[in-house]
Amino acid sequence: MIQLSRLTGLVLLFAAGTGCVTPGLMLSGSWETDRQFKDNAADYTALTFAPDYTYTSVIRREGQVQTWTGMWQPQLTTTMWFQDPLSDYTKFPASDFDTTPENRLLADGFLILEDGEQLNSYRIEVEASIQDGAWIFTDPHLILHNKQSGETVTLYRVQGNSTWPLLSMMPTSR
Amino acid sequence: MMRLLNSKLLLALVMCVPGCSSANSTLVGSWEGKGTIEEQPFQFTSMTFAPDGTYTAIARYSNAERFMTGHWKTINKTLSLDQGTRTYAYKFKDESKILFTDTHRDETLQLNRVP
């Protein structure tokens, strides 16, 4: 019964949190490919998304740099789900989970940069674990898939000075 | 009385919930410069500041374009990039225009808010 109460509280907290965590807030901040290759790799991508839906991006591909600043649009709703390796990676909504913690929380959505010429689907993945009875979320990364070019790029979050919204909405203890 | 105080405290706390509050810095967002290299040998062509203190900026020189992604903060109307590696005094002309002055070069650039 106690376990059920804790679980209910967890789900309620999660549901309360999702009310204010928009795709804009989840993506807000800076993301880049592996920083150690920033200055000399032929391919490098960096993006900063602001919560007012403006962005600046830098894409270096085979040594050629393209930069862009403009507006971006997320899909109005973003699907968040846990991936459970114990059940053949079955997707199920994060708000419905009722088992022991899975190892990964994901959020899927679509991203339109500028005037729709670059339509990307995106996935945010974050490693999830429980340590000392508290949820720990680490290593958020953003996987961008450009539907036109078919290219996929994985970007890592540039550590900022505030808690990432996805993490701040989660309860810190059970 | 106590209940009223508690209500006000609760309201204040709710307004301060991270992730739900509005951007707390007027620099947050994107800015674009206009003009040509002939007019100014160096210019920020564009930059986006995120509220978590990270940014991406594109700077154009006479013969090259550089980009930077890193951290920003402001102290006394001065923008500091990447722990003070670069500093710029800034002043708002209005809500959509900002002037950055490179104190080392004594050059001033105007950027317009996007959109």
Q: Which of A35-44, A150-159, B101-110 has the lowest mean pLDDT?
A: A35-44
Q: Which DSSP letter does residue A94 get?
A: G
pLDDT at A136 over 50: yes
| Spatial distance between the Cα atoms of A56 and A29, rounded to a whole number of angstroms | 11
Q: Which residue of A48, A161, A169 is in closest CB contact with B19?
A: A169
Look at A28 and B51 and tell me if their CB atoms are within 8 Å: yes
Residue A48: pLDDT band (50, 70, 90) is very high
* Pick among A53, A54, A137 to test the B interface (most B CBs inside 10 A): A54
What is the least distance, in Å, from the CA of A147 to any CA of chain B? Answer: 24
Look at B29 and A50 and tell me if their CB atoms are within 8 Å: yes
Q: What pLDDT score was predicted for residue B78? A: 92
| Residue B46 contacts A, CB cutoff 8 Å | yes
pLDDT at A79 over 70: no
Mean pLDDT of the A79-104 span: 50
Q: What pLDDT score was predicted for residue B25? A: 58
Look at A69 and B71 and tell me if their CB atoms are within 8 Å: no
Q: What pLDDT score was predicted for residue B112? A: 92
Strand pairing of A90-93 and A79-84? antiparallel
Look at B50 and A29 and tell me if their CB atoms are within 8 Å: yes
Look at A161 and B114 and tell me if their CB atoms are within 8 Å: no
Could you list the mean pLDDT of each consecutive 10-residue stretch along chain B, which spans 115 residues? 42 37 68 71 81 91 82 92 89 90 80 90
Q: How many CB atoms lie within 10 A of CB A67?
A: 18
In this prediction the ipTM stands at 0.73
Kindly state the helix (H) or strand (E) to which residue A16 belongs, with its residue range: helix A2-18
| Residue A51 contacts B, CB cutoff 8 Å | yes
Q: What pLDDT score was predicted for residue B105? A: 75
Of all residues in chain A, the one with the smallest CA distance to B31 is: A69
pLDDT at A98 over 50: no
The values of phi and psi at residue B85, to 5°, are -60, -40
Look at B54 and A70 and tell me if their CB atoms are within 8 Å: no
Q: What is the pLDDT of residues A108-125, one digit of tens each?
A: 776 776 645 566 777 777
